Amino acid sequence: MLEAARACPSPLTLAATELMVEIGYTAMTMRKLAQRAGILPGSLYHHIDCKQDLLLNVVLDIVERRKQAWEGGCHPLDLQGHVRFALARQVAFPQEEMILRHEVRHLDDNHKLWLERALGQLARPLRLIIEQGCATGRYQVSDPARATVAILAIIESANSLRGGSAGFDETWIEQHILRVCDSVLQPERFPPGRLP
């Protein structure tokens, strides 16, 4: 894991994650965290320097678990495999999604730099897939780094589709996300007015 702050013991990270999901980062006090973790409030500072470092530890832990799941998984190492992995992870671990979507805004600028670095490592496999696709002529994008950011945003949009009142099922969401990703990576197949 990227070490941005003093590493937080796993039970403390788990307790902080649970509290952030239940009541949010802002409402989570160190006293509530100590109570959840079963330790004295003053003892927390033997394990963590401040609440910001704790949030960063939680976020980096989520990113590291995702990275390990990708590296240890048995999915195809192509765009479809990556999209399916990411969508399945969103469904299987909604608490991670909630923290990454809502709580990272509380990180200060220094901590955000660590998060960006970690997210860059997490995005690296997708960028490699896009670069390989460009090298073989499968994809036609001039800037694989920007295309990677766009694809990640498209994948993130699946959360909005799930939460809406239209009731999209996962099969439709997956097919839609893959079509939109293709339109970004193969723009000649989707001229203006013919986007999926």
Q: How many domains does the chain have?
A: 1
Specify the CATH number for the domain of residue 73: 1.10.357.10
Does 64 map to a domain? yes
Give me the DSSP letters along 105-167. GGS-HHHHHHHHHHHHHHHHHHHHHHHHHHHTTS---S-HHHHHHHHHHHHHTHHHHHHSTT-
pLDDT at 165: 74
Does 5 map to a domain? no
Q: Which residues contact 145 (CB under 8 A, 6 or more apart)?
A: 127
Residue 104 belongs to what domain range? Answer: 10-189
Write out pLDDT tens, residues 100-143: 988 999 999 989 999 999 999 999 999 999 999 999 999 999 99
* Single pTM value for the model: 0.84
Does 89 map to a domain? yes
pLDDT at 145: 96
pLDDT at 33: 93
Q: Which pLDDT band, with edges at 50, 70 and 90, does 1 fall under?
A: very low
Does 2 map to a domain? no
Does 196 map to a domain? no
